[in-house]
Structure 1
Amino acid sequence: MIRADFGRSPMLVGSWWRGRRRPHSSYVVELGVIALGAEPAHALGLTIDTLAYRLVRTRPGAAGQAVETADLILPVDRWTIRLQNASTPRRALSGPGGAAATRM
């Protein structure tokens, strides 16, 4: 978990990986919106039922199997999600593949 300078965590992150960490060349992200339950709301310093983005990022290995999966909970009042065409040069993006989350 990352702590912000104003005492509230800007996000919650849970991560899983298979074996040792390995290089990956791509990822898939599923994006949705959830209402926070008691535990994540408390961890983020928010009230129950506050809306948050839920991103599930999966990074496949060379054989196509998942080598890492991460669940990210980003409160909608603290983050903006930007989707960009994957053909845009990578140096213009915050991350490969065209998706970026920007802290407000």
Structure 2
Amino acid sequence: MPHPPSSPLTHNGEAIRTIRKLRNITMKELSGTVGITPQSLSNAENERKRVSWELLNKIALALDVPLAAISRTFVANGRPPVAAADYLREDEAAA
């Protein structure tokens, strides 16, 4: 269950999940790479818990996307939400 508007999140869980799946990275792999448990990653993807900027940056680096791609701050400032096609690498788009 997402946090209410009075408790804004810094991250976009749906974007994290979408990009992770586009990269064919499992929850176990990504959580291991960034140093958290799969349950913690699940909580982040489902927006049940806040994510620190430090962890958000680690996730962005592990997914090979700019921080803006998984940050709610940028969506709130008028940038469009993540579209799956925006984050396909050339080799992924060709497949």
Q: What is the TM-score with the length of structure 1 in the denominator?
A: 0.22
Q: What is the TM-score with the length of structure 2 in the denominator?
A: 0.23
Return the index of the structure with the highest Cα Rg. 1
Please state which structure has a larger fraction of its residues in helix: 2
Tell me which of the two structures has the higher relative contact order, counting C-alpha pairs closer than 8 angstroms and 6 or more residues apart.
2
Please state which structure has a larger fraction of its residues in strand: 1
